[in-house]
Chains A and B, each alone.
Chain A
Amino acid sequence: GAGVSQTPSNKVTEKGKYVELRCDPISGHTALYWYRQSLGQGPEFLIYFQGTGAADDSGLPNDRFFAVRPEGSVSTLKIQRTERGDSAVYLCASSPQRGAGYEQFFGPGTRLTVL
């Protein structure tokens, strides 16, 4: 079956602009995670959805970042007034459940470049 997909694969924008990054999880996976990976670093947690609700948004760096998952499937990460420091690869992962033993399946990521 299909894996996690993310669009766009690359996004170049100018400082101050608004961007949306989309994640299509594996069908039937209730848990969805967003991570951010800077060059040479491991992924850093941003936000977790269980179903439609954001159960943990403690990793969002500030209020310019927001994410939704209105129907419990596709999720969109929204970044307002982008800054150069937002440049990174944004990874989405899904899991059948959040419980112990369930691996997270990662998408290929969206590489965001803020000029």
Chain B
Amino acid sequence: GQNIDQPTEMTATEGAIVQINCTYQTSGFNGLFWYQQHAGEAPTFLSYNVLDGLEEKGRFSSFLSRSKGYSYLLLKELQMKDSASYLCAVRDGSSNTGKLIFGQGTTLQVKP
């Protein structure tokens, strides 16, 4: 079966650091994506991991451990505009379509 878990909601303070965790159990694996989605808008790409380790991209970093079925997204120097939903998605590896299997999303609220 396919299962991707992430916390439903998180709250953090402007300027702080927040870590959003994602665990997955999928029948195949071909990479993990993080997307940001503001209310009423399209998901936008943040990061991609296919090998174990940390990928850093400005204020955002993403980590992957394939053996543990675990990833996290790290957001530094939080800004009010970072308030959004963060979606963890695994690229299906059991087929050859590249379709994404999403978690339910983590709603992050950044407070002043």
**Which residues on the B side are within 8 Å of A48 (C-beta)?**
97-99
CB pair B102–A43 under 8 Å, yes or no, is: yes
Contact A101 B99 (CB under 8 A): no
- Which of A13-21, A62-70, A71-79, A91-99 participates in binding chain B? A91-99
Given contacts A56-B99, A101-B31, A105-B45, contact A42 B105 (CB under 8 A): yes
A100:B43 contact, CB within 8 angstroms: no
CA distance in complex: A102, B102 (Å): 16
B24 within 8 A of A: no
Q: Chain A CB within 10 Å — which of B48, B97, B102 has the most? A: B97
13-59 of chain A: CB within 8 A of chain B: 31, 33, 35, 40-45, 48, 50, 55-56, 59
Binds A, one of B10-18, B67-75, B87-95: B87-95
How many A-B contacts at CB < 8 Å in the complex? 69
CB within 8 Å for A101 and B48 given contacts A41-B105, A42-B87, A42-B103? yes
Q: B residues within 8 A CB of A104?
A: 33, 45, 98, 100
Q: Does B50 contact A (CB under 8 A)?
A: yes
Q: Do residues A91 and B99 form an inter-chain contact, with CB atoms below 8 A?
A: no
A102 and B45 in contact, given A42-B87, A42-B103 (Cβ under 8 angstroms): no
Q: Is B44 an interface residue (CB 8 A)?
A: yes
Residue B54 at the A interface, CB < 8 A?
no
Nearest residue, chain A, Cβ from B4: A42
Please provide the chain A residues from 77 to 115 with a CB less than 8 Å away from any CB of chain B in the complex.
Answer: 91, 95, 97-109
Residues on A with C-beta less than 8 A from B96 are: 55, 98
Contacts of B89 in A (CB 8 A): 42
